[in-house]
Amino acid sequence: MAISRFPEDRGLNARMGMTMFFLGLLYVVFVAVLFVVIKSAVFVLVIAGGLLFAQYFFSDKIALFSMGAKEVSPEQAPELHALVERLCVMADMPKPRVAIADTDVPNAFATGRTPEAAVVAVTKGIMRRLEPQELEAVLAHELSHVAHRDVAVMTIASFLGLVAGLLTRVLFYSGMYGGGFGRDERDGNSGAPVMVIMLVSALVYVISFLLTRALSRYRELSADRSGAILTGAPSSLASALVKISGDMGKIPTRDLRRAETVNALAFAPAISRGFSLSSMFDTHPSLQQRLDQLAKIEADLGRSG
């Protein structure tokens, strides 16, 4: 349940709960296979625990570093802080820290494990392009993520895929360069355990990847809906979406690729030219789907008014 005046989204809560349940079940099976195949998986658990700790407690710092964003004070960005503070008063929630990324990629994102430890970041590109009411709508979208705690859920949900993907790569390169993981020179089938772990890790990675992508798309629609209802201006959010999506194609490829590292957290995906995983397994719903939802909310608010 949200700890604010943002409307509760039971669909989001249910999806987050189901995703965490299935990923938890997948994690138990994954660890069990590791123990059965290699007998001792202590080092795997230590690495996994360390990664989870780092990702959960330092996710905000990692995301800010990835985008080159720096925290700013009210004196450094008074208008931005005023917008965030106004929205937090409207939503009855703690004011998060505020950061600005020095990039022309028009975007915004929220990160942090709790509302008290959250950070809302915007880029100079989005501040330059949007009108104040449009930027306010985008910030309301990001604050909805914080209020519903889906940033923390996405951080934990992506952890299993991270571990599985890392383990697959380690074992692949270990075998490629003659590594001795699980090797017994007296056993002619010494490579079998490694192959089993690689296959299971790859399968776990694919399943967790698809689950988190499905959750990510829904959470964006939920944040659009909650932010639009809080501000009462769905058209401002729609206008911001159209502007940002249209300007993405004008951004240099190198800048888009850098921004892709926080696609799952961003207001709009940074799609680089050419092939990318985001073009196959989107972290966000389509622009048209988001605009259609906002148009429906606009009509509903008009009827209720």
The amino acid occupying position 147 is: A
**DSSP code at position 77:** S
Instruction: Judge whether 94 and 140 are in contact, CB under 8 Å.
Output: no
* Cα first-last separation, the chain: 27
Active site residue 85: no
The amino acid occupying position 102 is: D
Q: How far apart are CA 50 and CA 171, in angstroms?
A: 19
Those residues whose C-beta lies under 8 Å from the C-beta of residue 223, and which sit 6 or more positions away, are: 141, 142, 144, 145, 148, 150
Instruction: Judge whether 149 and 115 are in contact, CB under 8 Å.
Output: yes
Question: Tokens for 107?
Answer: 């975007």
**DSSP code at position 276:** -
Concatenated DSSP letters of 54-66: HHHHSHHHHHHHH
Backbone phi, then psi, for 111, in 5-degree steps?
-150, 165
**DSSP code at position 116:** G
Backbone phi, then psi, for 118, in 5-degree steps?
-80, 160
Q: At what angle do helices 287-304 and 234-248 cross, to 10 degrees?
A: 160
**DSSP code at position 284:** S
Q: Which of 85, 116, 131, 142 is an active site residue?
A: 142
Q: How far apart are CA 2 and CA 21, in angstroms?
A: 20
Tell me which residues are annotated as active site.
142
